[in-house]
Amino acid sequence: MAYQIPPLPYPFDALEPYINTLTMDCHYNGHHKAYVQNLNKALANYPDLQQKRPEDLLVSLHTLPESIRTAVRNNGGGHVNHSFFWKIMAPKAGGKPQGKLYEDILSHFGSFESFQEKFEAAGLARFGSGWVWLVVNKEGKLEILSTPNQDNPLSDGHQPFLGCDVWEHAYYLKYQFRRGEWLKAFWNVVNWTAVEEFYSQALNKNLSFCP
């Protein structure tokens, strides 16, 4: 069965004023939809690979036929990253996480504010298009990473559970060149309940982003 774009869990205008309606529409119906279509095209002649979870394709990129590896990395990454991205945002969200995640952030970064500053700095430092992530790294510790394009930390053995899209299509229609404003606005829509669930999955190395 061909991969499909998952339903957006809220209306296009639900994240206003932090993400405007036009940005959400273009991002979801334009960019994410295209990643899914192109992933299906890349795998059209590989029925065995079509049965795999998109996350598993990214974990095992090095085993894929070389002729489709780049297409799966780009478009499979785009599908996984965005399926995850929609889930970790919500209207009337923001604030701080609770429980173990909050305690671990304090233990690793010193304060929640220090974590936010480092996360924003990593997003600003990403040259060109990409993502900034909070992951459980290969050593089982929290780490902030940035990846280019639609690369996902899963491909390098890390377990991402919070991420922000810093491609221009994610923010330019509202914030233009002001990526720093977008990164600060992002905290107002983070669905920490979902992030905490993904953190639990990350600790168990059992992440599931796509339906």
d(CA 143, CA 161): 11
Phi, psi of 42, deg, nearest 5: -60, -35
How many C-beta neighbours within 10 Å does residue 201 have?
A: 16
Q: Do 183 and 164 form a contact (C-beta atoms < 8 A)?
A: yes
Residue from 168, 111, 177, 104 nearest 137 by CA: 104
Q: Do 89 and 14 form a contact (C-beta atoms < 8 A)?
A: no
Residue type at position 196? E
Q: Is 13 among the annotated ligand-binding positions?
A: no
Q: Is 82 among the annotated ligand-binding positions?
A: yes
Q: Is 108 among the annotated ligand-binding positions?
A: no
Q: Do 61 and 73 form a contact (C-beta atoms < 8 A)?
A: yes
Q: Which residues are annotated as a binding site for Mn(2+)?
A: 27, 82, 165, 169
Q: Which residues are annotated as a binding site?
A: 27, 82, 165, 169
